[in-house]
């Protein structure tokens, strides 16, 4: 009298197990690819963990919600590559926790904005975007130039990032606070030390046009000027990494 | 239990029963079921054709050989070829020959203005007239000369930018003990004098000596500017930062090093030539 369907329906344990199996499929499809992440992330030259000043800038970027209007993901579309440059690589966000790919472009993509403008321009544009771009809807952030950078959380930030896989060394964590202050101080004679510690593509200078102090503007502009500049595309093998 | 006929509605039941409750079998219309199975079939075909399932060390690449990265590289190359076809001169000729062709401006200026607005207008303004900190490109007063090749080179490597071969143009900070405050204030009066502004004549004559000893090396005799080092002329009315007394004092006190980004790598060689020409055209049209 009973179909297989009915048997199953009336067997509590069996049915619960079936539900568990079906529900776990969703998780499986999300988690399984993480085990193959090694062969998703390209091998590239130049990619390095962010310096403490850049981490601070990134935190400000997230705090101010810049990601709500700006993406950091140049897609493999002609229009994107034409306008913003080489498409983004997985490797370029491997030290981002969380990544800033975004899904909304009220303003332009920022994945390769590093080096596109000068510090002076960034500072003045962030203070009042409409001075440079008529009709811009981007808010002004002039208070960043007034707010001294709080470097105390940086050691903790680096430790937290290390826990999720960013390879900071003990020495880098110990000197996080000084490193942040000195990256914005061209007179500290510290460029060599920072580059030895992080890599030759660290930019050391006064970013916010106020040489005598380090503000949140320094951190944010240092972060923006680094975006998209780390990977050495001359040594990038596109053939080997096509997907 | 079997599906049975429900008297009241005249329909069949599903055959399931929960504590005496039965359910009418009213399946979704056939068209929906067919399209559901069709989409599933299409999905299976796509799995086979396109990159799909991840494996342990690799992923299923698909039989169609599709790669979004190859695809975009091709699309970019196609568009590049199309642009060359539309404006063949820019690949074939060098910047000097291009500058001598009077017909190009009328044909190409509108197209190039889009390129200019995308990349340069944020600093030099839509009208190329510049703004404080960012020089006017229409006025025929050049930092690095109006020679087409020099302009092209400036666009390639930038000024005070990050690349190794960028042009360097640093105005030193004289306030850091390089000049006594008195001398600094005097040389400001001298600069005001040679640029034709209201000034303190007694101080300016002291300032002339200070200028002779400290500034002519870069700004040339009489402050007319030199083209080899990006030091601007101080005798004309074109200013990057400003010719007022207070701005001049600031320039002398803290120094200046304006940054013009280099565009090699970001723009193609042809695009850089187009923009160099665009700047030249604006200079010729502008009020000299």
Query: Cα separation of B79 and B22, whole Å?
Result: 64
**Is ipTM over 0.95?**
no
- Give which of B138, B127, B133, B121 is closest to B259, Cα–Cα: B133
Calculate the CA A139 to chain-centre distance.
21
Please give the pLDDT value at position B169. 92
A85 and A168 in one domain? yes
Chain B residue numbers touching A78 (CB-CB < 8 A):
72, 75-76, 79
A74-107: per-residue pLDDT in tens? 999 999 998 999 999 999 999 999 999 998 999 9
Q: Is residue A125 included in any domain, yes or no?
A: yes
Q: How many Cα atoms sit within 13 Å of B224 on the Cβ side?
A: 3
Please give the pLDDT value at position B288. 37
Q: Is residue A138 included in any domain, yes or no?
A: yes
A114 and A182 in one domain? yes
Query: Cα separation of B190 and B184, whole Å?
Result: 10
Containing structural domain, residue A9: 4-36
Please give the pLDDT value at position A2. 62
Please give the pLDDT value at position A197. 94
A9-54: per-residue pLDDT in tens? 778 898 899 999 999 998 888 887 777 777 788 889 999 999 999 9
Report the residue of chain B nearest A6, measured CA to CA: B16
- One fold for B69-167+260-282 and B181-254: yes
Q: What does the block give as tokens for A161?
A: 């990032």
A157 and A63 in one domain? yes
Q: Is residue A41 included in any domain, yes or no?
A: no
Chain B residue numbers touching A117 (CB-CB < 8 A):
122-123, 261
Q: How far is B72 from chain A (nearest CA, A)?
A: 6
- Give which of A42, A105, A31 is closest to A71, Cα–Cα: A105
Q: Is residue A45 included in any domain, yes or no?
A: no
A202 and A89 in one domain? yes
A30 and A116 in one domain? no
A70 and A30 in one domain? no
Q: What does the block give as tokens for B109?
A: 């200026």
Going from the C-alpha of A174 to that of each of A124, A155, A160, A171, the distances in angstroms are 34, 7, 13, 5
Please give the pLDDT value at position B270. 94
**Rg for chain A (alpha carbons), in Å?**
23
Query: Cα separation of A40 and A92, whole Å?
Result: 12
A113 and A145 in one domain? yes
A237 and A154 in one domain? yes
Q: Is residue A47 included in any domain, yes or no?
A: no
Cβ atoms of B27 and B42 within 8 Å: the answer is no
Pinpoint the alpha helices (H) of chain B: 30-49, 68-86, 89-92, 95-100, 104-119, 121-124, 148-157, 181-194, 201-214, 216-219, 245-254, 269-285
| Contacts (Cβ under 8 Å, ≥6 apart) of B145 | B227
Q: Which DSSP letter does residue B24 get?
A: E
- At the topology level, CATH places domain B69-167+260-282 in Cytochrome Bc1 Complex; Chain D, domain 2 (1.10.760)
Q: What does the block give as tokens for B151?
A: 């302009």
A159 and A92 in one domain? yes
Q: How far is B266 from chain A (nearest CA, A)?
A: 6
A170 and A59 in one domain? yes
Give the CA angle between residues B114, B239, B153 to the nearest 5°: 50
Query: Cα separation of B86 and A95, whole Å?
Result: 42
Residue B79 touches chain A, beta carbons under 8 Å: yes
Q: What does the block give as tokens for A75?
A: 């897609």
Please give the pLDDT value at position A214. 95
φ and ψ of B117, to 5 deg:
-65, -35
Using a pLDDT cut of 70, give the percent of chain A over it. Answer: 99
Please give the pLDDT value at position B146. 86
Each residue's pLDDT expressed in tens, for chain B with a length of 288 residues? 578 888 888 888 887 778 888 888 888 999 999 999 999 999 999 999 998 887 777 788 889 888 889 999 999 999 999 999 999 999 999 999 999 998 999 999 999 999 999 999 999 999 999 998 999 999 878 898 889 999 999 999 999 998 889 999 999 999 888 899 999 999 999 999 999 999 999 999 999 999 999 999 999 999 998 777 889 999 988 899 999 999 999 999 989 999 999 999 899 999 999 999 999 998 765 443
Chain B residue numbers touching A3 (CB-CB < 8 A):
1, 15
Q: Is residue A143 included in any domain, yes or no?
A: yes
From B56, B72, B162, residue closest to A78, measured CB to CB: B72
Report the residue of chain A nearest B263, measured CA to CA: A116
A102 and A197 in one domain? yes
Res A7 pLDDT > 80: no
Q: Is residue A134 included in any domain, yes or no?
A: yes
Q: What does the block give as tokens for A183?
A: 């990256």
| Contacts (Cβ under 8 Å, ≥6 apart) of B148 | B95, B96, B98, B99, B276, B277, B280
- Give which of B141, B205, B144 is closest to B169, Cα–Cα: B144
- Residue range B181-254 in CATH 3.20.20.80: no
Query: Cα separation of A230 and B3, whole Å?
Result: 68
Helices (H) and strands (E) in chain B, counts: 12, 2
B 81-120 → A contacts, CB under 8 A: 118
Burial of A107 (0-12, 13-18, 19+ CB in 10 A): middle
Which of helix, strand or coil describes residue B264?
strand
Please tell me the total count of domains within chain A: 2
Q: What average pLDDT does range A63-84 have in this prediction?
A: 95
Residue A203's domain is classified under what CATH number?
Answer: 1.10.760.10
Residue B1 touches chain A, beta carbons under 8 Å: yes
A207 and A100 in one domain? yes
Q: How far is B69 from chain A (nearest CA, A)?
A: 6
Please give the pLDDT value at position A234. 86
pTM: 0.90
Please give the pLDDT value at position B226. 77
Q: Which DSSP letter does residue B5 get?
A: B
For chain B, the structural domain boundaries read 1-65, 69-167+260-282, 181-254
């Amino acid at each position: 009298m009973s179909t297989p369907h009915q048997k199953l329906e009336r067997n509590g344990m069996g049915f619960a197990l079936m539900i568990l199996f079906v529900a776990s499929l969703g998780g499986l499809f999300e988690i399984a690819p993480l085990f193959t992440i090694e062969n998703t992330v390209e091998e590239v030259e130049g990619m390095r963990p962010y310096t403490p000043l850049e981490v601070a800038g990134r935190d400000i970027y997230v705090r101010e919600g810049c990601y709500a209007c700006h993406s950091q993901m140049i897609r493999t579309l002609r229009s994107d590559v034409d306008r913003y440059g080489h498409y983004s690589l997985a490797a370029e966000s491997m030290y981002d926790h969380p990544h800033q790919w975004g899904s909304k472009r009220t303003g332009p993509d920022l994945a390769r904005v590093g080096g596109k403008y000068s510090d002076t321009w960034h500072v003045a544009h962030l203070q009042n975007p409409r001075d440079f771009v008529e009709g811009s809807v981007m808010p002004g952030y002039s208070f960043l130039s007034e707010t001294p950078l709080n470097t105390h959380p940086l050691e903790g930030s680096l430790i937290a990032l290390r826990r999720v896989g960013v390879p900071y060394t003990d020495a880098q964590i110990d000197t996080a606070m000084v490193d942040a202050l000195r990256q914005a101080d061209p007179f500290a004679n510290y460029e060599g030390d920072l580059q030895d510690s992080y890599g030759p593509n660290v930019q050391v200078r006064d970013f916010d046009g106020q040489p005598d102090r380090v503000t949140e503007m320094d951190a944010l502009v240092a972060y923006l000027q680094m975006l998209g500049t780390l990977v050495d595309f001359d040594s990038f093998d596109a053939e080997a990494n096509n997907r | 239990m079997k599906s049975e006929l429900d008297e009241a509605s005249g329909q069949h039941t599903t055959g399931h029963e929960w504590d005496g409750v039965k359910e009418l079998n009213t399946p979704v219309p056939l068209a929906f079921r067919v399209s559901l199975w069709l989409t599933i079939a299409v999905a299976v075909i796509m799995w086979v054709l396109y990159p799909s399932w991840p494996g342990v060390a690799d992923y299923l690449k698909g039989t169609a050989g599709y790669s979004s990265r190859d695809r975009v590289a091709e699309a970019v190359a196609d568009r590049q070829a199309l642009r060359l076809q539309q404006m063949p001169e820019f690949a074939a000729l060098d910047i000097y020959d291009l500058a001598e062709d009077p017909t190009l401006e009328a044909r190409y200026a509108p197209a190039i203005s889009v390129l200019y607005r995308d990349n340069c207008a944020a600093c030099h303004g839509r009208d190329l007239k510049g703004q404080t900190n960012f020089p006017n490109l229409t006025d025929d007063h050049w930092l690095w000369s109006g020679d087409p090749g020099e302009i092209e080179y400036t666009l390639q490597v930038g000024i005070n930018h990050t690349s190794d071969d960028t042009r360097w143009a640093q105005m030193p900070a004289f306030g850091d003990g390089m000049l006594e405050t008195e001398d600094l204030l005097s040389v400001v009066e001298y600069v005001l004098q040679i640029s034709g502004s209201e000034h303190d004549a007694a101080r300016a004559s002291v300032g002339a000596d200070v200028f002779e000893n400290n500034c002519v090396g870069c700004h040339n005799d009489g402050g007319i500017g030199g083209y080899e080092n990006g030091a601007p002329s101080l005798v004309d009315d074109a200013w990057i930062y400003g010719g007022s007394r207070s701005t001049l004092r600031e320039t002398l006190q803290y120094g200046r090093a304006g940054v013009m980004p280099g565009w090699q790598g970001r723009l193609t060689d042809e695009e850089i030539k187009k923009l160099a020409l665009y700047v030249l055209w604006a200079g010729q049209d502008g009020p000299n």
